[in-house]
Structure 1
Amino acid sequence: MAHRANLATRNLPSARPSHSPTQVTLDSVRRTYGRYAPWYDWIFGAVLEPGRRRLTRAVCELQPHRILEVGVGTGLTLARYPASARVTGIDVSQEMLARAQQRAARLPGRKIALHAMDAEQMGFADNSFDCVVLPYVLSVTPHPAQLVAELRRVCRPGGAILILNHFSGSRFWWWLERCVTSIADRVGFRSDFSFEDHVLAYDWEVQSVRPVNLLGLSKLVMLRN
């Protein structure tokens, strides 16, 4: 059932987490994913693919005209968005974007634009998109609250925001979270990432939360801006 988190107001687009997550810097993200780029599809492709498929199916059901993918990476989702939609993808890694460009080139007739851009400081006007998707990005960005403020700014009021991410607390994956916590800056993402602090602490409408990937490693969260 849809509900609204009540810990923030629309006039305060970001809420302060109750604790500080493990630090990740923009430089460490660029460096790490630059190294991952040649191998990303092999390392993270299959294991995270069920979540991507659920994400793109949800987007297709919405039939938005203007889609923004934050953290488009190597472009693994591009072919699955509605063919009629105007798709914009951004990423901080030039190496990942180069591979996404190759995928986009194999989709003639599609309206796809890819940009190197920091999602915490996007160069888009307010209300530019009907649907904003974040596949495996929220726990990667250095300042999650700042990213949330930006994606809400560029998504039109009433638009859809879909977050696909790992959140801490799973009884199946606690060992992985514990191992990765101390090396977040080197692996490029945080494992100690609270759903309450980074999703429920805002006044958007939470429409659904679905476990995806092996043993519920990730969640697909559908929100109304």
Structure 2
Amino acid sequence: MKESRARSEDFGPPSLSVESKPERALSEAGVARAYKRLAPVYDLLFGQVLEPGRRRMAEIVRKLQPASLLEVGVGTGLALAHYPHTSRIVGIDLSREMLERARERARALPDHQITVEYMNAERTSFADGSFDCVTLPYVLSVTPRPAELVREIRRICKPDGTIVVLNHFSGSRFWWLMERAFRSAAEHVGFRSDFRYEEQILSHDWQVASIESVNLLGLSKLIVLKNRRA
């Protein structure tokens, strides 16, 4: 995988931004409430539209063939079937209602080694360096404290392990108007619309191995990171 030198300029010209009030901070309870409401309809609303990104993420993981894999924000388990069956897979989430659906999917995959647990990814119970690979599909912008989540996943990912981030970032040429529309409803849907690549990715000292646009009109970015830590 070639190293990418992606910069904030890759996410559209600054002129697309407009002045607006900061979004209300997300809370753990607010996110849990949002996904309790969404659980029965999540697959219908976000299954197919975000599936290309999940498939590409899983393809990257299959090439890596990690012995151990953690999926943060496993949700209803839509990506589980696409991970390598040789990996020991753990999925965690804050929504018990979403996890019930993930457990159903895990039970339908007897050839996979899957454990699904209720856990806050900002403060997990895992030991340092527990996983060869950590994936974060559509979760970084819905966690209350992204910096704490990043710190935690880097702790539990092995040194030189792989972290795969699949997320929407602000500045897309096609989606900037929708971002503004979402701002007032962020708490209700458990989503932070104003989420910047330079702040959440480039500000950390990990290595960006690759970055690509996925989903309709480049709605999401798939970023592969090497966990450079002492």
Q: Distance in 2 between matches of 1:99 and 1:69?
A: 15
Indicate the residue corresponding to 1:28 in structure 2: 30
The unaligned stretches of length 5 or more in structure 1 are 6-19
Question: Which amino acid is 2:49 matched to?
Answer: V
The one of the two structures with greater contact order (alpha-carbon pairs below 8 A, sep at least 6) is 1
Is contact 1:134-1:164 (8 Å) kept? Answer: yes
Indicate the residue corresponding to 1:170 in structure 2: 172
Is contact 1:34-1:93 (8 Å) kept? Answer: yes
Shift of 1:22: 4.3
4+ residue segments displaced more than 6 Å:
none
- TM (norm. structure 1) is 0.91
Q: Distance in 1 between matches of 2:90 and 2:143?
A: 19
Identity of aligned residues (%): 58
Indicate the residue corresponding to 1:127 in structure 2: 129
Q: Distance in 1 between matches of 2:222 and 2:120?
A: 23
Task: Identify the match of residue 82 of structure 1 among 81, 84, 88.
Answer: 84
Q: Distance in 2 between matches of 1:87 and 1:185?
A: 30
Shift of 1:181: 1.2
Partner SS, residue 139 of structure 1: helix
- The within-5 A match list for 1:7-86 is 22-86=24-88
Partner SS, residue 176 of structure 1: helix
CA RMSD of aligned residues (A): 1.3
Indicate the residue corresponding to 1:204 in structure 2: 206
Question: Which amino acid is 1:2 matched to?
Answer: E
Partner SS, residue 119 of structure 1: coil
Q: Distance in 2 between matches of 1:46 and 1:3?
A: 28
Is contact 1:56-1:77 (8 Å) kept? Answer: yes
Partner SS, residue 99 of structure 1: helix
Q: Does 2:184 align with 1:182?
A: yes
Q: Distance in 2 between matches of 1:126 and 1:182?
A: 38
Is contact 2:133-2:163 (8 Å) kept? Answer: yes
Is contact 1:74-1:97 (8 Å) kept? Answer: yes
